[in-house]
């Protein structure tokens, strides 16, 4: 009997061990239906970055990463890409051997995680509400069914329906189809057994550059110092760390659509005249355009405006011109009346030549001109926009707008039996100065001159003045 009892115990223990082993085996191993492994790569895997910026609110990104991929077919999530990426421009390749990496399918995931979408995904599912009980002053957790999220969450707690619940909603996990950041997803076939080095390249909107120049004239207006700066405005939705930076100056043709220039913002910071040890950019011709390569790496952060020195040149010969443009309509005035129209434009001309420490194609941009006053303080005297200027060509900068001088005569008659005083208020546009006047005046506002004219009874008084206006 004792031997039979021991045999039964051993059999029961054996069955328990077999049952436990069966429970410990993963379901994928028992059934043989193993799901493809999903790998993710982020900035931690990045080994190189190159950024080419076009001055049409467009950037070309080349993102190089070293990734441990498994052999065979699987999904690869390529994260930390620009939120304004143009999905149809994406391309990925192996830098080790292009034949070892095959792209079977490509997707761009942009259903980003936010409170509204998270609630929408949990409609019809259970969540937890964490709140403070007003009666017991204790914090409690209640399980609730999210019934709807139209205009606000509606919950079912037990057998009751409620909305406006003060509790903080706790979700068990992030739904599969919601992601925290824009992500490229590829279905790939990898044949390498060791880590792959891949390069993903794509175009993105929202990043722009422009050139700004500062010219400082000397006392005689015959010499000047010139500084050129590049202003990069990054609104693409990504940070490009330690990137090899290139700038393309030229009019790149693009297919237009309603979104292309939606977020185009030209933000230019005021730039002071600064000196540099040498040019940081190397210029080359590139497909009827000009390519400027920064001779060091640079970081362009998301939502950052960055300035980089383009060139400097001191003691440049300058030619100053005063140009008068006559009024064409004066000669076609049928009434024959003389029209006062004296326009004088003030221009500064600089030769873009090598002997002036220039001699490279200059990208279009804004030129701001400064000059020291008698007290030695630097004053702003004007600005102009120049186009792309090839070497050995001249840059002409208009630093003062049209100047007008006009004379006015106003007749005032008093038909009353007593003396009167008439206030004459003249609206004068621009930056003005009265050169001469028959009566005293006061500058009551920026664009207003006021005359007080006494007029004796039964008399006529004429107010005359000449004014210079600069626009």
Q: What tens digit of pLDDT does each residue of 245-257 get?
A: 999 886 555 554 4
pLDDT (tens digit per residue) in 215-239? 999 988 899 999 999 999 999 999 9
The residues, ordered by sequence, that sit 6+ positions from 300 with a Cβ below 8 Å of its Cβ are 51, 207, 232, 234, 239, 240, 243, 245, 306
Q: Which fold has domain 38-112+179-204?
A: Immunoglobulin-like (2.60.40)
Highest mean pLDDT (candidates 7-16, 286-295, 311-320): 311-320
351's tokens: 């030769």
> Burial, 11: exposed, middle or buried (Cβ in 10 Å; 0-12, 13-18, 19+)?
exposed
pLDDT at 22 over 50: no
Residue range(s) of every CATH 2.60.40 domain in the chain? 38-112+179-204
Predicted TM-score of the model (pTM) = 0.61
Between strands 38-41 and 72-79, the pairing is parallel
Question: Which residues pair with residue 78 across a beta bridge?
Answer: 41, 184
What confidence tier does 189 reach under pLDDT thresholds 50, 70, 90? Answer: very high
8-state DSSP, 38: E
pLDDT at 176 over 80: no
The residues, ordered by sequence, that sit 6+ positions from 457 with a Cβ below 8 Å of its Cβ are 414, 416, 417, 418, 419, 420
What integer pLDDT is reported at residue 117 of this predicted model? 76
The rounded percent of the chain whose pLDDT value lies above 70 is: 76
Cβ 49 vs Cβ 241: under 8 Å: yes
Higher pLDDT, 261 or 380: 380
Q: What are phi and psi of 6, to 5 degrees?
A: -65, -40
């Amino acid at each position: 009997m004792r031997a039979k009892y021991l045999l039964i115990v051993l059999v029961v223990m054996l069955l328990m061990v077999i049952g436990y082993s069966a429970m410990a085996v993963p379901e994928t191993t028992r059934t043989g239906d193993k799901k493809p492994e999903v790998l993710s790569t982020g900035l931690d895997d990045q080994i190189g970055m190159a950024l080419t910026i076009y001055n049409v609110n467009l950037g070309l990104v080349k993102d190089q990463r070293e990734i441990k991929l498994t052999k065979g077919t699987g999904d690869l999530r390529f994260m930390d890409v620009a939120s304004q990426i143009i999905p149809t421009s994406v391309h990925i390749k192996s830098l080790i051997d292009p034949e070892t990496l095959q792209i079977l399918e490509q997707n761009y995931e942009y259903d980003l995680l936010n409170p509204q979408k998270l609630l929408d995904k949990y409609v019809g599912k259970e969540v937890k509400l964490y709140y403070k009980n007003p009666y017991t002053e204790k914090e409690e957790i209640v399980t609730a069914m999210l019934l709807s999220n139209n205009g606000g969450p509606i919950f079912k707690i037990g057998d009751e329906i409620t909305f406006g619940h003060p509790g903080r909603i706790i979700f068990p996990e992030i739904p599969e189809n919601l992601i925290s950041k824009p992500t490229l997803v590829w279905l790939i076939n990898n044949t390498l057994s060791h880590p792959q080095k891949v390069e993903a390249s794509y175009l993105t909107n929202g990043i722009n550059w422009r050139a700004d120049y500062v010219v400082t004239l000397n006392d005689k207006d015959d010499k000047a110092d010139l500084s050129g700066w590049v202003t990069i405005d990054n609104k693409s939705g990504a940070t490009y760390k330690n990137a090899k930076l290139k700038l393309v100056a030229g009019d790149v043709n693009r297919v237009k659509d309603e979104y292309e220039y939606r977020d185009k913002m030209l933000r230019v910071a005021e730039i002071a005249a600064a000196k540099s040890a040498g040019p940081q950019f190397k210029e080359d011709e590139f497909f009827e355009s000009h390519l400027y390569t920064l001779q060091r790496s640079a970081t362009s952060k998301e939502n950052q405006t960055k300035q980089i020195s383009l060139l400097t040149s001191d003691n440049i010969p300058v030619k100053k011109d005063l140009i008068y443009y006559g009024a064409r309509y004066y000669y076609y005035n049928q009434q024959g009346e003389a029209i006062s129209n004296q326009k004088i434009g003030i221009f500064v001309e600089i030769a873009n030549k090598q002997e002036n420490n220039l001699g490279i194609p200059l990208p279009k941009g804004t030129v701001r001109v400064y000059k020291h006053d008698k007290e030695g303080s630097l004053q702003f005297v004007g600005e102009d926009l120049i186009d792309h200027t090839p070497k050995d060509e001249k840059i002409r900068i208009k630093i003062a707008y049209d100047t007008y001088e006009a004379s006015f005569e106003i007749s005032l008659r008093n038909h009353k039996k007593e003396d009167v005083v008439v206030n004459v208020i003249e609206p004068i546009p621009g930056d003005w100065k009265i050169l001469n006047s028959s009566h005293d005046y006061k500058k009551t506002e920026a664009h207003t001159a006021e005359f007080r004219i006494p007029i004796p009874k039964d008399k006529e008084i004429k107010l005359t003045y000449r004014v210079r206006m600069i626009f």
